Amino acid sequence: MSGQQSRADQSTFAELGLRARLFAQGALALLFAKGGDSFARLLHSPWRDDPYPIYAAMRAGGPLIRSKLGLLICTTHELCEEVLRDRRFGVLRSDGSYGDPTAAAVDLQLSLLELDPPDHTRIRRLAAPELRPRRMEKYRQRIEDIANELLDEAIERGSFDLVRDYASLLPIRVICDLLGLSQVDADRLGHHGLVVSGSLDGVRSTKQLRQMRESLNELDAMFARLIEQRRADPGDDVVSNLVTALDDDKITSTELVQLCNLLLVAGFETTVSMVGNGANALLNHPEQWDLLRADPGLAPAVVEEALRWDPPVQMTGRIAHEPVELAGRQLRKDTPVLVLLASAGRDPAKHEDPDRFDITREVQGEHLAFSSGSHYCLGAPLARIEGEVAFRCLATRVPDLRRAGPVVRRPTSVVRGLASFPAFPGKTVQRT
C-alpha cells in the first residue's frame, strides 16, 4: 500500500512540475511577445492570427536569427531546405533523447516523426511502398464518391460547416478505407485525430496532456486489435500488407501500432487544414474562385498554391547531431534549430510576388509544406489527391458557395487551420 502511495505521490509531483513548467513557458513567451519578439508573437493571439507579416520581418533580419527565447530560427527558403536535407540534423538529440523535457513528458509515439536513422530509414522503407503515388491513385474514385456524398448531405440541409462536415470527414473516411477500418469508427477516429494532432503545437496544460494520452491509449488498443484481425484474415489494405513485415521481424508490433497512429494523425491534419485554408483563400480572392469554377482542372494548382501560401504545418524543428556551420554561425552539437516552412513559402527570393494568392502561378520549385529531405511527408501523394478532389467537387457541385458567417481559426501556431467555416451551398449542381 505504501509503495502504491509512493508512486501516486511521485506522479502527482511530476504533474505539478510539468504544470509549473508549462505555465512558466507560456508566461515567458507572452511577456516577450508583448515586448516585440517576433517568434514569441507567433505563439499568441492576436499576432498569430496573421503570421505572414511577422515572417516577412523575420526574413528581413537574415536567414538565421535568434529569438529572445533563445531559439535559432531559419527564415528563408534556401536555408530551411538546407537544414531539412542536411543529414547532420535530426529530430532527436544525438544521444536519442528529446531536446525538450516537456516533449519527453508528452511522448506522442508518432513513429517516423520522432525517429532518426537507422530506425527511421528502416520503417520508412517498409511504409513507403504502401503510400506511393500509383497505389494512392487506386483510391481516387473512392475519394470522389466520399466527397460527393458529403456535399449531397450539405446540399440537402441547405447549409453546412465546410470544416466539420466536409474537410474533416473526407480524410477520416478515406483513412478508414486505407487502413481497413469500419466506417463506424470514423467519428471516434476524427475525435482522436483532432486531440492528438493538437499536440503537434505543443502541450499547454496538463488537462490537454491527459486527453492526448487517453486518445493515444485508445488508438493503441484499437490498432493492436486491427493488426491481430489482419493477421488472421488479411485484406487489401495497408495494415494487412505491413503485417507481413511484422511476421518477418522487420518491424515490431509497437512500431506498427505507432505507424498506424501516424497515418491517422498526419493524414487527417494535413488534409483538413489544407482544404479549409485553401477554400478560405479562394473565397477571399473571388477572381481565383471564378477561375477554378470556370476550369475545375485547375484543382491540382489550387492544392499547390494553398500549400505554399497558407500551409497547414507552419514550422518544424531539427537538432544538430554534430558541430555545424550554418549561415555563418558555428552551432554546437545538440543545438536546436526551428525551420519556418510557412516563411519559406512567402520568400521573395524563391517565389515572385509571394504574398499574392494565384492558382495560375508558374511553379518555381517545390514548396516545403510537406517538409523535405529524409522526413519528407510519406502521405503527400494521398493528401494531394484528396485536396484536388475536394476543391474540384466544391467548384463543380457548389459553384455559388459563400460564407454563412465568420470563420474561426484554431488557437494553434505550429498547425494553422480553421476550427469552423459556416457556409451556404447556394445554387447547386447535381453530380453526373
Task: Tell me what pLDDT residue 204 has.
Answer: 67
pTM of the model: 0.89
Q: Inform me whether the pLDDT recorded for 344 exceeds 70.
A: yes
Q: What percent of the chain has pLDDT over 90?
A: 50
Closest to 372 measured CA to CA, from 171, 111, 83, 130? 83
Q: How far apart are CA 251 and CA 255, in angstroms?
A: 6
Indicate the burial class of 184 (C-beta count within 10 angstroms; 0-12, 13-18, 19 or more).
exposed
Amino acid at 388: E
- What is the strand order of the sheet 72-74 is part of? 64-66, 72-74, 336-339, 316-320, 89-90
CA–chain centroid gap for 283, Å, is 23
Q: Inform me whether the pLDDT recorded for 416 exceeds 80.
A: yes
pLDDT tens digits, one per residue of 162-188: 999 999 999 988 988 888 877 656 777
Per mean pLDDT, which range of 65-74, 229-238, 284-293 is the poorest?
A: 229-238
Q: Which residue has the higher pLDDT, 77 or 236?
A: 77
3 state SS of 415: strand
Quote the crossing angle between the two packed helices 380-397 and 253-284, to the nearest 10°: 30
Q: Inform me whether the pLDDT recorded for 343 exceeds 90.
A: yes
Q: What percent of the chain has pLDDT over 70?
A: 87
Task: Tell me what pLDDT residue 5 has.
Answer: 47
pLDDT tens digits, one per residue of 352-379: 999 999 999 987 678 999 999 988 888 8
pLDDT tens digits, one per residue of 11-47: 454 455 555 665 566 777 788 888 888 999 999 899 9
Taken in order 83, 84, 86, 92, the sign of the CA dihedral is: positive
Q: Inform me whether the pLDDT recorded for 106 exceeds 60.
A: no
Residue labelled with grid coordinates 474540384: 392
H/E segment holding residue 326:
strand 324-326
Q: Inform me whether the pLDDT recorded for 421 exceeds 70.
A: yes
Query: Distance between the two ends of the chain, CA-based, in angstroms?
Result: 68
Average predicted confidence (pLDDT) for the chain: 86
Q: Which residue has the higher pLDDT, 121 or 324?
A: 324
Band (pLDDT 50/70/90 cuts) for residue 1 is very low
